[in-house]
Structure 1
Amino acid sequence: MTYDVARVRGLFPSLGDGWIHLDPQAGSQIPDSVASTVSKAFRALVSQPGGVYPAARQSQAVVDAARQAVADLVGGDPAGVVLGPSRGILLSTLAEALPPRLWLGSTAVVSRLDDEPNIIGWLRAADRYGARVRWAEVDIENGELPPWQYSDLLDDATAIVAVTAASSTIGTVTDVAAIGAAARAAGALFVVDATSAAPYTVLDIEAMGADVLVVSAERWGGPQVAALAFRDPGRIATLRSSGLSTSTSGPGRLEVDGLHHALLAGLAASVEHLASLDDAATGSRRDRLVTSIASLNGYLRRLTAYLAESLSHLDFVHMVGSAAERVPTVSFTVDGVAADKVARRLADNGICALVDQPSRALDVIGVGDVGGAVTIGLGQYSTPYEVDQLVRCLGSLG
């Protein structure tokens, strides 16, 4: 497998702005193929699906293509792909769609490592129906989410287990398969937020054991569109239909009315972009995705190791967490300098970074007590030169 980062960078016109973009958690840069697809679709897709005339059939074809693209990405079935404007809306819709009787006397298990979209919907539903909530805790020493704790958290009353596949702030990769096995043994619905893992790792909904997997396209270069993938599409029929849905069957039952078809066209184009990252990839789109993402993963593992090694030479900079398995995402603190001032120094030197990201994991670890944390992430287009510029700028703070 070969990964040609110079070729990949040429696919992103926005990189010509001269900035170093280390903020993919806020949205990856957009490849030209995706931007062109969305622009063309805005002009061409003017009708809703459902009609027999050409414009309606064209819109329906775009919806079908978007479902298939997500299915290829996660190794699932397009009949189980629910589309929506954001993961927060989709996960909240899922929580609302579960039968009320499921919540009576039950428990929902969520984790401190997760982003709010995979927490808040479950907390609200549990509060509404009087269900209990239990928390899986982060190891404050290394930032990992120990899977052994789930044997104590889960019991016959557990209805929901929600967990992230990877942290958006400290990069920790969770042992989803082990947690999923515990959820399955308890008979609970297992919901995995793969938003922060999807840009970097090959997803396989079967191997992960997830009943529902959520991804969000803006993290890998797509538009602001998200998707829920059900491992068993038939489960959708057991859920209450969204109050704004116009569909009576299939994934449309959980989709609010008014999906933007131009953005769905961009979603399919962004998955095709991912599949083309390694120009040696061949076969079906799923095959090409596996090859390309594995190639990207190998490149970014090396670059992340270089980043960690470089930061370790700055004794006043401290990385948060030291998980053995991580995506290329890092949060760090700087002795005696508040995080917002660090981010401003980086911006003054042409480097985009995030500061004080909302994170229960960072709160538990206690970064607020030392002035907050700066979060950076590497993307498809990141280079060793950009890492060097980051480290050089941080070095000036010492």
Structure 2
Amino acid sequence: MRTIRRGFSGYSVADVLDNGKFGVFYEANYTDAMQLATFDEEWLNYVCAPMQAEAFTASSGSTLDVPVTITNQEDEELSGAIAVGASTQFSATAKSVTNLAAGASTTINLPVTVASTALGNQSLPLQFTSSTGKTSQVSVSAQITGEETTGLNISGQRTDMSRDLAVDPYAVGEKVPYSFRVNSIGNIAQWVVPTAGNFSPFSASPIGQPSPAGTCRYSNLPAGAGYTCATPRHEVTSNELANGFFIPQTHWTSGRVGSNAIVDEYTITDQEVDLVDRQPSFTVEASQQVAAEPALNSSPKAGDWISYEVTVTNTGNVRLSALEGSEFSIKELDAGESKSATITRLRTSADASSRSAQEKSKIATARNGDIKIQAEISQSIAP
């Protein structure tokens, strides 16, 4: 079988045309659209190998063997494989059919797994694909039993991924286009209502109440189905631009169709979305000591107090946070900004032997959101 039109169609009639082609005349809608589709046998790409299988009953999430009988109505032997066709409700590992003689039949036990989201009357699509690539298909009726389940998988992403942020970074007040993909992992129809988030348009009124256009709500999401909402926009703030990113934060509710009661709620914090081509970096420099003991001309020894200054500079293009060295900590540092800290501590034996103040650790670390970076600290400070 081949698909002539995806989506809605109404009444149709099929016939063989004079030019050796086939024609299907069908309603594309109920009012004013009649379509004629024509095709030939090559486009149909069929093999004369009908399949049969009995209707069956199974439980959601179970696996069972479905006996499938295939008959070779071609003039030569057939080889190929039987598998489940396109389906969100069923899956199976393909089973081979080898050297089936012309006119012969064979029965294959196909191990079919029923999705946990399947429930009620379903159709199991089966497809035989011959070694030459031609196909035969059949649909098998199935009654799936199990408890009603609800649930959603929700993900999002910036939609202008082709934008080169190194050349064209975002600016304060600019709106970032964003889309959400909402997939049902339940086995019944659900309504979906987003109630809060740092996007507009996005949030909707509770189910049963009118909402403005462009929201991401869905009134009747079938089991196992999904939808994409591409209307949301996020307005860039000065604080986010300084960080070089923003964090999508949203809240969603869902419930059973036919009831306004909320069954599930989801608070989602998604991955950081870049607003610029983030290049975080920093330097740490230790200056000459500003105070020292012992007195001038005396030999340094362990146990003396030493004091020196460390200057940390943000040399990148985004704000840094949690800057830490062995003896200093800076909460935040904007791009291009420098901060200094005075370190006072007891001289160690290593300081005394080298006649300089040795840093306890030569590495400092910092963060820009989820990005962690490090910089080498000056190894010593002259006494």
Same-fold call, TM > 0.5?
no
Q: TM-score, normalised by structure 1?
A: 0.20
Q: Which has the higher strand share?
A: 2
Query: Which structure has the greater CA radius of gyration?
Result: 2
TM-score computed with the length of structure 2 as normaliser: 0.21
More helix, by proportion: 1
